[in-house]
Amino acid sequence: MSDWIDQFPGLSRLDPELRHTLTDRSRIVDVPAGTVIFGPGKAPENLLLLLSGVVRVQQVSESGREIVLYRVHAHESCVLTTACLLAYEDYSAEGIAETDVSAAAIPRNVFEDMIVRSSVFRSFVFTAYSKRIADLFMVIEEIAFQRVDIRLAQKLLELQSNSGDVQLTHQQLATELGTAREVISRQLQEFQRRGWIAATRGRVAVRDQAALEAFAAH
């Protein structure tokens, strides 16, 4: 199991020697869907590089409301929250395996070692940081300035399966956007009235993708 490195574009140019270091001193972990990978009081001791699956990172407020910050997909890393949780334990973001997840776990000391020895690895890490931070900026821009109906349309398009299904409850969609369930219910009713979707218990089916896209482009 030494070839997973090639799955990461940013790492493919790593020296053979350093590739060995990485594969020898990391291990592959598999976690089932639903596992809380890190969270308040559960700092990650390893840097995770996702080989397959999806990790959802979200924030929980005191009042119990939640918002999804971003997702980590296969061939991406969890750098941001890893480093973040190392220094500041007192906030409330958590990472949850949305699907079964397989990942390469790199211990902290190996991470440090790679940072020192490889400019390719440094670049990989800082690029990953940049991407995540850009994601956070986008989240801020959207919740501060964008209407929820537009954002909901965008989310449905983003989360739909190949068959056009979104298997989420209204509450889960509300968490995606950091809003309340009732708001989602009303917006979905309006979308349905316009014939853009068909909503059933725990599922939304996209019926008119073009119209939804036109609306989302606002």
Partner DNA sequence: TCGCCTCGGTGACAATGTCACCGACGGTTG
Partner DNA sequence: CAACCGTCGGTGACATTGTCACCGAGGCGA
Residues in touch with a copy of itself (CB under 8 A): 59, 61, 63, 65, 67, 69, 80, 83-84, 86-88, 91-93, 112, 115-116, 119, 122, 126-127, 129-131, 133-134, 136-141, 143-145, 178
Name which of a copy of itself, DNA, none residue 148 binds, using a CB cut-off of 5 to 8 Å depending on partner kind: DNA
- For residues 158 and 36, give the distance between their C-alpha atoms in angstroms, rounded to a whole number: 23
User: Quick one: which of 135, 149, 165, 208 contacts DNA (CB under 7 A)?
Assistant: 149
- For residues 193 and 131, give the distance between their C-alpha atoms in angstroms, rounded to a whole number: 37
Q: Which residues contact 16 (CB under 8 A, 6 or more apart)?
A: none
Residue 182 is a binding residue for DNA (CB under 7 A): yes
C-beta closer to a copy of itself: residue 58 or 160? 58
C-beta closer to a copy of itself: residue 175 or 187? 175
Name which of DNA, a copy of itself, none residue 33 binds, using a CB cut-off of 5 to 8 Å depending on partner kind: none
What DSSP line would sit under 129-165, residue for residue?
HHHHHHHHHHHHHHHHHS-HHHHHHHHHHHH--TTSE
Give the amino acid at 127: T
- Binding residues (CB under 7 A) for DNA: these are 65, 145, 147-149, 169-171, 179-183, 185-189, 199, 201-203
